[in-house]
């Protein structure tokens, strides 16, 4: 997986800057990216992943993207909630922002509310 490059994190955050209330912080060996306190993306190594759902996952798969995965003693585990952002989107900010906003909507709709919080 490797360590996330500070330059790559800064690059991604700059691309996402037009979306209000974006913040990044350390997250399980990488960086989580949140909008209004809801995580919708993560950077692991130098790969950006967005939250997907059953409706958007095929779009990522058609673009050749794979789900986030990691190794355990029992083999590779796949996290199908997060899919790699197609690399060409990192060269097209307008399109990246469309996919990011879609991911934010999914993350907000599926985020687990903490008990006692409204």
Domains of the chain: 6-109 (3.30.1460.30)
What is the full DSSP assignment across 64-84? T--EEEEEETTEEEEEEEEEE
Asked if 100 and 52 count as a contact pair (C-beta separation under 8 A), the reply is: no
Strand-pairing partners, residue 90, are none
Q: What is the pTM assigned to this prediction?
A: 0.88
Q: State pLDDT tens for residues 3-35.
A: 678 899 999 999 999 998 899 888 878 899 999
- The mean pLDDT of 28-55, rounded to a whole number, is 93
Strand-pairing partners, residue 102, are none
């Amino acid at each position: 997986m490797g360590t996330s490059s500070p330059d790559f994190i800064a690059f991604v955050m700059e691309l996402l800057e037009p979306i209000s209330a974006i913040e990044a912080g350390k997250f399980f060996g990488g960086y989580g990216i949140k909008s209004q306190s809801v995580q919708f993306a993560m950077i692991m190594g130098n790969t950006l992943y967005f939250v997907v759902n059953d409706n958007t996952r095929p779009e990522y798969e058609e673009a050749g993207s794979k789900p986030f995965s990691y190794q355990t003693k029992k083999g590779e585990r796949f996290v199908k909630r997060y899919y790699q952002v197609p690399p060409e989107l990192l060269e097209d900010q307008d399109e990246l922002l469309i996919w990011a906003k879609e991911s934010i909507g999914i993350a907000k709709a599926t985020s687990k509310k903490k008990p006692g919080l409204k």
